Amino acid sequence: MKDQHFDMEQSTAVGMPTGSNLPSFTNATDTLNVAFSAEFHVDATDSALAATDVHEEVRRSFAGFLDDRAVEQDSMITGDEALIELAQEDTKADFLVTESVLGYDGALDDDNDDEERYLAISSAPAPLDDAMSMALEATDKMSSDAISTSAPTEMTVQIRLSDSENSISPLDLVLNLNEHTWLSRFGRAQAVLPGEGSWVKMTLAEIVIQEYFRRPTRLTQHDDLALWEEHLTEIVEYLIEEGFDGSCATSVHSGRKGVDFYHIGGESYEDDFMPIHATMAEMAYAVDQAVQPTGPEGREYQKRARRSNLRAFASRILKLQDVVDTLEFRDDDSARFVSKKILTDGQEIGSVQKMGVEMVKVGSIAAPVETGDTASYRPIAALLSERLANT
């Protein structure tokens, strides 16, 4: 029997609870481990740091503060690599001080190298409550005068399933995430790096929507929910197989046993632990709800939640379709770095720019484009317009 059609005006998501309003975890709580990698920088001209190995000096500083934790250092790896190393069964360290990925990906100016060293402290995976305690301890130390954070620094949160029989449903994860709220908490919804035309991190849902619009198939409000689910599932599966780049705020591990989140960060993100606590809890809850429940009651709840959230997601796509259809791109060489103007109903709202990488800019925010064609520009421009309206 065909699934019922849905009314766009009545399509609202179940809505993920936030912060202290989270209900009990139901699916994977016994096998859910949480780890983090928090970036920061230190003054490399400080006499104590200049006279010795900076990683070892910072390790000693953390070890002195975290006197009941095993803190080690490895200057040859980055924070993201440390999360992999700390997840190994034979690892004895609670924390690992490493280089930050910021020193490797060209995000920072080489002129800063002699003045600031960007490092990371990463934690071993632990149950959520223990991971929260470790995050509180690390950020408490990071609030000291000797350690600073700035716009490009962030805290990666990694959530893994330790039970080999469990796996994450990618589509349920997309539908459960509350990424815009997480980015907004840390002032990152409209900019990751400050300045003119600041680029933003795209959410996992936005990456899925971009891929939807790159494909020729267009579903409507008259199509069955089952067809929407099938089509969107195929898109999410494709994206996981292809992998995620640094412009996406969420990355699902290829084995579907873990997720990396890149939402927390910015200048002084470590100073107030309450937003970090709430965000980590919500991330863990979203992953938990994307794991297949073991009991019939849990499976029935997940089924209802998926249908409701799927209706809301489909409605969002259809509303974006209306925006996409109104966009016009005109060649323009009147301004430096600008290749096209973006217009809607004859009014200019943004541009396509090329400054090393190709970017779509709407208002004050921009996002990178992987393939330089109008089919790729359209959904990004629509999504940036949506984000500006909702932030």
Radius of gyration of the chain (CA): 22
Q: Which of 109-113, 190-194, 337-341, 352-356 has the lowest mean pLDDT?
A: 109-113
Question: Do residues 115 and 212 share a domain?
Answer: yes
Contact by Cβ (8 Å): 310, 225: yes
Domain that holds residue 103: 17-302
Higher pLDDT, 10 or 173: 173
Coil vs helix vs strand at 3: coil
| Domain co-membership, 272 together with 189 | yes
Predicted local confidence at residue 195, as pLDDT: 56
pLDDT tens digits, 223-272: 999 999 999 999 999 998 888 666 799 999 988 999 999 999 999 999 99
Contact (Cβ atoms closer than 8 angstroms) between residue 78 and residue 100? yes
Indicate whether 277 and 192 sit together in one domain. Answer: yes
Residue 25 pLDDT > 70, yes or no? no
Q: Are residues 66 and 133 in the same domain?
A: yes
Give the model's pLDDT for residue 97: 96
Residue 12 covered by a domain: no
Across 188-215, average pLDDT: 85
Contact in structure between 366 and 360 (CB atoms under 8 Å) = yes
In this structure, is residue 315 part of a structural domain?
Answer: no
Verify that 106 and 24 share a domain, yes or no.
yes
- Residue 115: per-residue pLDDT: 72
Query: Do 260 and 339 have their domain in common?
Result: no
Q: What is the pLDDT of residues 28-47, one digit of tens each?
A: 566 799 999 999 999 877 65
Rounded to whole angstroms, what are the CA distances from 109 to 106, 118, 213? 7, 12, 35
Q: 49 and 177, same structural domain?
A: yes
Residue 283 placed within a domain: yes
> Do residues 270 and 351 both lie within one domain?
no
For residue 311, being part of any structural domain is answered with: no
Does the pLDDT of residue 109 top 70, yes or no?
no
25 or 138, greater pLDDT: 138
In a domain, 307, yes or no: no
- Split into its structural domains, the chain has a count of 2
